[in-house]
Chain A
Amino acid sequence: MVGNPMARTTGPLTVAIVDDHPVVIEGIQTWLSEEPRISVGHTGEDADVEPGVADVLVLDLNLHGRLVIGDIATLAAAGQRVIAFSQFTEQRVVLEALEAGACEFVAKNEGRAHLVNAVLAAAGDRPYVTPTAAGVLVGDRGASRPKLSSQERTALLWWFQSMSKASVARRMGVSVHTVDVYIRRARVKYAQVGRTAPTKADMLARAIEDGLVKPDDITGYESAAVGVG
């Protein structure tokens, strides 16, 4: 496991930012500076960074006109936690980034709170699903998609529609916490499909530790159909 183990709880954590527009780097720095636990270390314009450069790498998906999904796979394979941060929100791009081993996908227009939450969650190997990512996952009709329970699908869909977990909770008649569990559990199921990566394994291990999923559930996507609740 790469990075500061302390970051898995609530201690300080380091973030690296890679984007080909300096104004975006500065913007992200400003956003993150409001969160005392986060300190920004490396910043740069190239995906060519050493794995372990920081606890979490915020990576622009499109650097100098090139999609860097391949770099995500390389970094994730070396255990680097990556948050894909992009203005490209096409379904294929988001799914490929997650499949390559990115911890989260955050759309550039989703704002500060989502990025900060994603960074904090990723540092603890915990899933965080932005409304955009929720829309992508619930609209996934790919052959290798994991089987989600109907509550998980509903939570993802309504989170995407309303962008308010409180609204979703009221509509589903459950607590906000339960809505969050459904959403995170759906995301964890995606860590079980496709190629393996240390970042995915860490997320699964953490989900078991947190009691989000049971070890029995982690048996590959064929039989990962068990929905609870």
Chain B
Amino acid sequence: MANGMIATRFAMAVNIGLVVIVGVWHLGLDTLLMLRGWQEYEPRAAAAGSWLALAVIQTVGSILLLRSALGGPIARWLAGASLVTGVVATATYPAGGMISEVSWAWNTVGWFGVLLLMQRPLWELVVLLAANTAVTVGFLVADGALDQVMLSRLLAVTHTTAGVQLTFAYLARQLNDGAREATETAAGQAERLARATADETVHAERRRRYEYLRSRVEPLLRGLAERQLDPGDTVVRHRAAVEAARLRRLFVETDDTPHPLLHELRACADVAERRGVRVTLLSYGDLPDLPTSARGELAEGALLVLAAAATQARVTVVTTPEDVVVSVVADAPPETLVESPGQLTVSAVYDQEEDQLWWETRWPVRPAP
């Protein structure tokens, strides 16, 4: 759906940004911190292992996120795994080094939470960030290092890690919602516009029919009522017959937004009626969408035969399961027989006994086998 396209692309941009941030954070900053303080970790294998485990979690999580395949259970599972890995990493810090130049896991696990739980309800991220903070606090308490100075440092760092991460997640969420809302508003406006256009078309169609009645039928009826026209007069009778046919045709036109093919055929019928030809136009079966060229070809022959009709014409459109068939039977001269204007199957016969031209063209609904 084009509807959610902008919102989807916007969310994708946020996700890519997040993946880059977390990537730079772990692969860049954490690596630098670890290399610089390498001698102080104990045991080093656990420190390196937790770094590696987080790198794996990060890669898996990033790929899933970018492929929109990060489901709830797997996101929570990965977030839990990164929290546990954070505990292992923190355990390798030197005594009292929970918040120091060698500590790296706290902040990293928090960003992992943002990455993994972005699509989840906000409370899940809050729980993870709280648990992540609790890990550091727990180690500080266990080490007996939580003095006044450490407490103020802890508060400051909590602010710059969990606080920043939560704010980031919250803002990204707001932006996503905003983008979705904007898309919905735009889609709503487009729909209203489409409806207004449709209404206008309907209105124009109704006006067209009303105009016919006003310009052609009304003078005839008035003439008859005021005895200015003689019902016995052949010319008047012919005019009445033509207008009756036209009225019948208008009554059948119950569709307010006609199919383009019917629209074209009706226009042809109108022209013939102005010349005094009695036109019947009937259509059965739901017309499918037609390529413009096919529509043109289907209407072309009908137009030529209608233009040559002397006094009457019957135009039919039938949509069968196999094809769309347009036909005109009219008292047109045999030399009207039209050449096929294109690829479609055209058949035209002049029926001498009925003294009329019978023209038909077909457009296959399904491509020929």
Contacts and interface: CB of A to CB of B under 8 A. Distances in A.
Interface string B297-325: 00000000000000000101011110001
B318 A135 contact: yes
Contacts, number: 63
A91 B358 CA distance: 24
Interface residues of B, number: 23
Contacts of A139: 284-285, 318-320
Contacts of A167: 351, 353-354, 358
A135 B327 CA distance: 12
Interface in A45-87: 87
B282 A157 contact: no
Interface stretch (A36-44, A158-166, A202-210): A158-166
A28 interface: no
A49 to B, nearest CB: 28
A162 B252 contact: no
A13 to B, nearest CB: 30
A78 to B, nearest CB: 30
Contacts of B200: none
A161 B327 contact: yes
Contacts of B349: 171
Contacts of B282: 89, 132, 135, 160
A157 B323 CA distance: 12
B18 to A, nearest CB: 50
A166 B349 CA distance: 14
A170 B353 contact: yes
Pick from B286, B320, B327, B349 the residue with the most CB of A within 10 Å: B320
A121 B319 CA distance: 28
Interface string B335-361: 000000000000001010110001010
Interface in A114-156: 132, 135-136, 138-141, 153
Contacts of B254: 90
A109 interface: yes
Contacts of A164: 351, 354
Interface size class of A (residues with CB under 8 A): 20 to 34
B251 interface: yes
B285 A171 contact: no
A146 to B, nearest CB: 12
Contacts of B351: 162, 164, 167, 170-171
Contacts of B54: none
B240 interface: no
B354 A157 contact: no
A163 to B, nearest CB: 7
Contacts of A109: 248
A138 B353 contact: no
Interface in B247-302: 248, 251-252, 254, 282, 284-286
Contacts of B284: 91, 135-136, 138-139, 160
B70 interface: no
A114 B360 CA distance: 25
A103 to B, nearest CB: 20
Given A109-B248, A139-B284, A171 B319 contact: no
A141 B285 contact: yes
A145 B282 CA distance: 21
Given A167-B358, A171-B349, A153 B320 contact: yes
Contacts of B248: 109
B325 A162 contact: no
Contact of B251 (A87, A136, A166): A87
Contacts of B321: 141
Nearest to B284: A139
A144 to B, nearest CB: 13
Interface in B138-170: none
Contact of B325 (A89, A132, A157): A157
Contacts of B325: 157, 161
A163 B320 CA distance: 18
Nearest to B362: A157
A9 B66 CA distance: 80
A51 B284 CA distance: 32
Contacts of A91: 284-285
Contact of A157 (B286, B320, B353): B320
B117 interface: no
Contacts of B252: 89
A162 B318 contact: no
A90 B285 CA distance: 10
Closest 9 pairs (CB-CB, A-B): A139-B285, A139-B284, A161-B327, A135-B284, A139-B318, A91-B284, A161-B316, A167-B351, A162-B329
Interface of A: 87, 89-91, 109, 132, 135-136, 138-141, 153, 157, 160-164, 166-167, 170-171
18 contacts: A87-B251, A89-B282, A91-B284, A109-B248, A135-B316, A139-B318, A139-B319, A140-B285, A141-B285, A157-B325, A160-B282, A161-B314, A161-B318, A161-B329, A164-B354, A166-B354, A170-B351, A171-B358
Given A139-B318, A161-B318, A163-B314, 19 more contacts: A135-B316, A135-B318, A138-B318, A140-B285, A141-B320, A153-B320, A160-B284, A161-B314, A161-B360, A162-B314, A162-B329, A162-B351, A162-B354, A162-B358, A167-B351, A167-B353, A167-B358, A170-B351, A170-B353
